[in-house]
Structure 1
């Protein structure tokens, strides 16, 4: 199975997103986080990810005569590698993005299903902006965003910290300009709901 097919399956992507940057979880804990996934389906896809080396067993303990395992993601195996990404066709990208969007919708639906969900006070943010950048400026911007997120990853829940999902999508809005063409003025728009921009929060 290719890296793309392995990681961009709808169920496997949700399992990996749940396990990223958190303590190891047992299958039972994953089922609590993802209650809409049938138990047999959950077990099957955990087995696929483990056999492929994407997940590893972090701990084992006996519980009522059975062995309960907790799993964590192997960071170096939890993303589509550059070579596999370069080999993806347009159809592959369409399928991957559809899977990503469906996973995002499922995360948002699961959040809204909580009785105490309050998007404003919880700092839910969904915004869009447009910027005109050179290739170098664009690379710097993406690096700055990724660095800002990674610098805050690794904290455990508790002590006033809430686990939030931060998603990044960047899509060119039209064809590449001809070399030397005037890209026009930089623009930006934003829509969303949540706290003011100077406060934490996002999805």
Structure 2
């Protein structure tokens, strides 16, 4: 299965997102984080991701005679490399973006489903801005944004820290410039 097809499935994206930058999780812990995914579906997608090497078994323990596996993401395998991205058709990109937005909507719905959800107090932000930049200025801005996020990845929850999902979409606005 091509990497883009593997990674850009809505359920698999959500599983990977739940596992990014956390301690390894068991399937039951993943089901607690993603309760709307049916158990059989969860197991099937975990198996696909594991077989493809995107997930790895971090630990196996026996619990009442059953082997319980904890999984973690292999970061280097959980990305679509530039060559594969360049080979994607417009329809592939449309499907990929739809999967991304679907995953984002599911995350937002899950958040709002909590009785104590308070978007203002919790710092929920969704915003768009138009910037006019040269290609070099654009590349520098993307590098700054990525660096700002990457330097904060890996800090454990607790001690006043809340896990937050940061998503970025960048699109050229060709209608504004008449291109």
The TM tier, using the shorter chain, reads: over 0.9
Counterpart in the other structure of 1:31: 31
Counterpart in the other structure of 2:17: 17
Residue by residue over 1:145-170, the C-alpha shift from the partner in whole angstroms, topping out at 9 and shown as x without a partner, is 00000000001110000000000000
CA distance in structure 2 between the aligned counterparts of 1:176 and 1:4, rounded to whole angstroms: 30
Aligned residues, how many?
A: 178
Give the Å deviation of 1:37: 0.2
CA distance in structure 2 between the aligned counterparts of 1:21 and 1:47, rounded to whole angstroms: 20
TM, length-normalised to structure 2:
0.97
Unaligned runs of 5+ in 1: 179-203
Counterpart in the other structure of 2:141: 141
Give the Å deviation of 1:64: 1.2
The answer to whether the aligner puts 1:66 opposite 2:66 as a matched pair is yes
Give the Å deviation of 1:177: 6.9
CA distance in structure 2 between the aligned counterparts of 1:44 and 1:36, rounded to whole angstroms: 15
CA distance in structure 1 between the aligned counterparts of 2:73 and 2:173, rounded to whole angstroms: 34
Helix, strand or coil at the partner of 1:85: helix
Helix, strand or coil at the partner of 1:132: coil
Residue by residue over 1:160-184, the C-alpha shift from the partner in whole angstroms, topping out at 9 and shown as x without a partner, is 0000000000000007979xxxxxx
Counterpart in the other structure of 2:111: 111
Structure 1 runs of 4+ aligned residues shifted over 2 Å read: 175-178
TM, length-normalised to structure 1:
0.86
